[in-house]
A = this chain, B = another copy of it.
Amino acid sequence: MTEAAMVDRAGRPIRVGLDVGGTKIDAVAVSHDGEILGRLRRPTRWGEDAVVDSTVEAVLALGDEVGFTPDDVASAGVGIPGLVDSATGRVLHAVNLGVESLDLAARAGARLGVPFRVENDVKAAALGAAALRGIDGSMAYLNLGTGVAAGIVVDGRIWRGARGTAGEVGHLSVDPAGRLCGCGQRGCVETFCGGGALAKAWGRPGALPVRDILDAAELGDAQAVLLRDDLFRGAAAAVRVLVLSADVERVIIGGGLTALGDRLEHGIRAALLAGAEASAFMRSLHLDERIELLTAGSPAAAFGAALVGASAPVKEIVAHG
């Protein structure tokens, strides 16, 4: 869908995409043929009004850097955590941002005179990852960050499912004797490979506890070895769930834990191979060949948000000026 959707309907050359996270906004300006023209990261502020302000300011600051004004912006898309009503652009329960209910698309759109669309951040990132990797068929984007969730894209479109929980593999239990999850269940995928759960289980201070865990595991720390194994096994379990339920062709792994780079990719691949060792059926799926890792700092989430914005029906584009 990328090319068709990126056609500039209003003669304005710029599509803006914003990934609004708990700590920072990642913003990209995209040309009508899908090229990323510029990128900017800014801190997010807490609370509903502040999220609107940060969003608006990020667009303006990106314009200053790239050289455009809101008049040049054909559309803007926002990926944001929480429950998102993509039809209305309302965000619910984005607890890390202090948002209970925010009419983000309408408020940011009115401030800038630009049509906004809003989408759940993982779903938007899935769309971006599929486009950046040129995947036409089916794929899942598995986000390994503080929490764990996936977005599924089929034929260039976000797979929403019946009630918006498609890809919520982080809260499937894969071990009844596992650690207690924040969601109340035991042994959820997220307790194994979520950055937050691993940091809590590790219990030692550090800027990126999961990196400390891998470093300590390499030095033979017994607790770290167990947690490292959990990380890889949990991510492998998530991959298996995505392939054995929705049967996506590829699983692209993104999120903050991609800062671990090759160590993460090799570890997950090894866990998938180990899981397949005893099972001809699992071997036949070639799961280890079907995963890939985004580069740390990939603009997939913001780029996906730009695609979400560009997918606005023509009738939703408001007149400006």
Which A residues lie at the B interface, using CB under 8 A? 137-138, 150, 152, 159-169, 171-177, 181, 183-185, 237, 240-249, 275, 278-282, 285
Contact = CB atoms under 8 A, between A and B. Distances in A.
A173 B174 contact: yes
A86 to B, nearest CB: 14
Contacts of A282: 171, 183-185
15 contacts: A137-B162, A150-B245, A161-B246, A161-B248, A162-B247, A163-B285, A164-B247, A166-B245, A166-B247, A167-B245, A167-B247, A171-B279, A173-B174, A183-B280, A185-B278
A185 B236 CA distance: 14
A242 B245 CA distance: 6
A161 B278 contact: no
A241 B247 contact: no
A183 B281 contact: yes
A184 B282 CA distance: 9
Contacts of A162: 137-138, 247-249
Contact of A185 (B164, B167, B275): B275
